[in-house]
Amino acid sequence: MSVVAKPTPTIKADRKPIDAKGLQRLVVSIGAETYSPVQFNSFTVGAITCEFEVASDETVIDVYNRASVILAELNHMEFESSLGRYMGHLKAGADAIQARAEANRKARTG
């Protein structure tokens, strides 16, 4: 099941690039997102934080654009994994309810 399109975040360097001289690392984070496919049930993806090395020939924008693509892919992978676990929990709950109903039906009919 494909639910989310992969984002492709980018910052265009229309302005003068931010000077990254002396900057060795850039830490980029995306916050947690909560999805609620069924009322009163939800799952959360994130937060994800990554640290990126800044090469001597890179601007902060270059590093951020690289980081954004990587974080978007990680977020998508975590979403797919979390959705699979969530669906497994829903199925297990539905199976338990069905088994209980079947047991009650057998108990009533003898």
Task: Assign 1 a pLDDT band (cuts: 50, 70, 90).
Answer: very low
Q: Using the predicted structure, report yes or no on whether residue 82 has a pLDDT greater than 60.
A: yes
Q: Where are the domains of the chain?
A: 25-109
Q: In this predicted structure, what is the pLDDT of residue 25?
A: 87
Other C-beta atoms within 10 Å of 67: how many? 19
Asked whether the predicted pLDDT for residue 15 surpasses 80, the reply is: no
Buried b (16+ CB within 10 A) or exposed e, 47-65: ebeeebebeeebbbbbbbb
Average confidence (pLDDT) over 70-95? 95
Is the pLDDT reported for residue 88 higher than 80? yes
- Could you give the CA distance from residue 68 to residue 29 in angstroms, rounded to a whole number? 9
